[in-house]
Structure 1
Amino acid sequence: MKELTATGRTVDEAVQSGLKQLELQADDVEIAVIDKGKKGLFGIFGHQPAVVKIREKADPIKEAKQYLENVISNMGIQAQVMAEEEPKRVVFRLQGDKTALLIGKRGQTLNALETLTQLVINRHSDRYIHVVVDAEGYRAKRKETLTQLALKLADQASRQKKDIHLEPMPSSERKVIHDILSGYSKEIETYSTGEDHNRHLVISYKK
């Protein structure tokens, strides 16, 4: 991020000088007035310039992308991170020769990267941004797997007239199953239970 300290005869003049040097607009920066300055006697004697500190506002997506790149690099893996901004979310796609290592068993590593990136991007944003981290089209493949699993277990719960507890999974995956089964049957409902890493979905038979 760019930042500098600028001076001028007035605060406004100092700000304009700083913006010109940074080649940024007022909406792109945060401004802190260090000294309002002093006109001095007759506008000459004892004059003190106004001093401001101008700092470029953090770009949430750039910050998150940089963070993700650093984490992957520290894992000893070379991968390119592509950011795709969509209306309600940002998708970070990982490309490289060893992206399978970034997915991990049942997507556990990818889910962890997604959670951390979610925290970073929203630390720098004044509105909530949903993050998806994907590699090798894993998210689409996983959704298909979850769809088949949800329908199979819902059928089992209906036939056996009992509740079925699934393994712990991230909220995004629980939501996929919930959405799939929301109109499945009047006899079936879904809800989440458990805390933290043990939070899981229950496919419940309405007795």
Structure 2
Amino acid sequence: MGDMIFTGASVDEAVASAKSVLGEHFEYEIVEEKKGLLGKVVKIRAWRPVPSVIVKKLLEDIMKAAGKEATIYVDEYDEGEIHVRIDGEDLAGFIGKHGKFLDTFEHFIDQVIRLRFDKPVRLDIDIMGYKARRAEKLLSMIEKKIQYMESRRLRSIKLNPMPRWERKIVHKLVQEHFPSYTTRSFGEEPNRRIEIKRVG
């Protein structure tokens, strides 16, 4: 749905008209305010914000406020999935030790976006390729754990605690590469862990 025009005798009336069509979450600008023979007429242009556009603008503002030069790439997929890649120099502070700040940063952006939209948005942010490199190491670790399970004929194995975004990667890697196994998260933050189990 693109931009739509709504009119009313006041801004509030025009906004209420837009709300009845677009729901609670929309943005608008006043395009015309005039007085005629029949009274005041206000015209607004309203639209539903696009999650990927909001994410990119928010991240650009944060990088600018931090004094960092960064290029931000955003891809939005079906079912509200948004992938962000941020490239630049001197961005290690946004990653933190073992990616802990990146985990917090991603969670913060995710919560801000959830406040703007009715439907949940699944957000994934990678900075300077850190997650991509980490995913390769996690895949190697998973392979070794599964080989160990098979050599010992174990039904399951529990991994060490890891941050939220690493758990997401592990769940995805096991699903994609090891169909005979499944995963589940358990425990409380910051010690939440993953268990890898044989299927059946």
TM-score (norm 2): 0.65
After superposition, the Cα gap between the structure-2 partners of 1:29 and 1:180, relative to the gap in structure 1 and judged at 3 Å, is closer
2:163 is aligned with 1:169: yes
**Secondary structure of 1:118's aligned partner:** helix
Are the aligned partners of 1:157 and 1:205 in contact in 2 as well (CA < 8 Å)?
no
Contiguous gaps of at least 5 residues in structure 1: 1-5, 16-25, 32-36
Are the aligned partners of 2:106 and 2:124 in contact in 1 as well (CA < 8 Å)?
yes
Question: How far does residue 194 in structure 1 lie from its aligned partner after superposition?
Answer: 0.7
Question: How far does residue 147 in structure 1 lie from its aligned partner after superposition?
Answer: 0.9
For residues 18-37 of structure 1, what are the structure 2 equivalents within 5 Å?
none
Question: How far does residue 51 in structure 1 lie from its aligned partner after superposition?
Answer: 4.7
Which one of the candidate residues 180, 190, 193 is aligned to 1:197?
A: 190
Q: Deviations over 1:88-127 (max 9, x none)?
A: 4222221211133322333222222222222222322233
**Secondary structure of 1:191's aligned partner:** strand
Flag the structure with larger Rg: 1
2:86 match? 94
One-letter amino acid matched to 1:190: T
2:51 match? 60
Which one of the candidate residues 108, 114, 129 is aligned to 1:122?
A: 114
CA distance in 2, matches of 1:96, 1:146: 24
Report which of the two has the higher share of strand. Answer: 2
Q: Aligned pairs, how many?
A: 175
CA distance in 1, matches of 2:183, 2:58: 35
One-letter amino acid matched to 1:99: L
After superposition, the Cα gap between the structure-2 partners of 1:180 and 1:75, relative to the gap in structure 1 and judged at 3 Å, is same
After superposition, the Cα gap between the structure-2 partners of 1:61 and 1:163, relative to the gap in structure 1 and judged at 3 Å, is closer
After superposition, the Cα gap between the structure-2 partners of 1:172 and 1:164, relative to the gap in structure 1 and judged at 3 Å, is closer
After superposition, the Cα gap between the structure-2 partners of 1:124 and 1:189, relative to the gap in structure 1 and judged at 3 Å, is closer
Which one of the candidate residues 82, 85, 97 is aligned to 2:76?
A: 85
After superposition, the Cα gap between the structure-2 partners of 1:190 and 1:57, relative to the gap in structure 1 and judged at 3 Å, is closer
Which one of the candidate residues 112, 117, 127 is aligned to 1:135?
A: 127
Identity of aligned residues (%): 21
